[in-house]
């Protein structure tokens, strides 16, 4: 994506086999956007440099971010009034079910009444648990933590030394590339990480 005008880049292959990427707006009319062509090889080389840095400095760059996000996620769940209300309701309903069983065991509640009440409470529990799952799924922070964890695992489990461009690894890590200038790009990784690299001629 062009960092100057927001237009998507497209891939070009010359008759001589030179592969480059160019801003669509610039390609249509150069005066409309200053970002011109950048070579695919220079993008690949920048990705290799970024990967090596992340692999080498995992404990300094990636791990602390994951810890901070996990702490934030825990704090948000604890401080979420809706989540607290659902968890309290689940606990109360489970306790009611336990007391009904005790009453039946003590001979104070017949089997038919127990079954009817238990069915009612089980239906309530099912609905409450569905509500809790919905609240969890709606938390963007949880999705981001999962994406960060996946990105970190991909880097940690990737090759220790990467001497040539790996398209599969690139696809797993990079969500998009923003071209700020013809010599500077930003790799936006899944999970929200962003790293700037200078393109070498």
- Do residues 162 and 152 touch, judged by C-beta distance below 8 A? no
Average pLDDT in the 41-67 region? 88
pLDDT tens, position by position, 130-185: 887 777 655 566 677 778 888 888 888 888 888 999 999 999 999 999 999 999 99
The average confidence (pLDDT) of the chain is: 86
CA-wise closest residue to 151 among 104, 103, 97, 189: 189
pLDDT reported for residue 82: 77
Consecutive H or E run containing 159: none
How far apart are the C-alpha atoms of 66 and 177, rounded to whole Å?
A: 22
**pTM more than 0.75:** no
CA distances from 33 to 5, 9, 29, 139 (A): 7, 12, 8, 38
107: region left, alpha or beta (phi > 0 left; psi from -120 to 50 alpha): left
For the ranges 56-60, 77-81, 87-91, 96-100, the lowest mean pLDDT is seen at 77-81
pLDDT tens, position by position, 99-141: 887 888 888 888 888 888 888 988 998 888 888 777 765 556 6
């Amino acid at each position: 994506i062009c960092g100057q005008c927001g237009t998507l880049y497209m891939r070009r292959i010359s008759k001589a086999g030179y592969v480059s990427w160019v801003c669509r707006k610039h390609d249509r009319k150069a005066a409309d956007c200053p970002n011109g062509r950048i070579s695919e090889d220079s993008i690949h080389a920048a990705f290799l440099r970024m990967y090596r840095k992340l692999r080498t400095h995992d404990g300094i760059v990636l791990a602390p971010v994951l810890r901070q996000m996990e702490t934030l996620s825990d704090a948000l769940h604890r401080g979420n009034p809706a989540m607290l209300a659902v968890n309290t309701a689940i606990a109360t309903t489970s306790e009611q079910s336990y007391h009904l069983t005790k009453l039946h065991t003590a001979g104070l509640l017949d089997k038919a009444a127990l079954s009817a009440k238990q069915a009612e409470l089980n239906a309530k529990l099912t609905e409450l648990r569905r509500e809790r799952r919905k609240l969890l799924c709606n938390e963007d922070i949880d999705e981001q933590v999962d994406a960060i964890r996946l990105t970190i695992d991909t880097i940690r489990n990737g090759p220790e030394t990467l001497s040539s461009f790996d398209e599969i690894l690139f696809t797993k890590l990079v969500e998009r590339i923003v071209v700020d200038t013809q010599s500077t790009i930003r790799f936006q990784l899944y999970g929200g990480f962003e790293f700037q690299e200078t393109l070498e001629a």
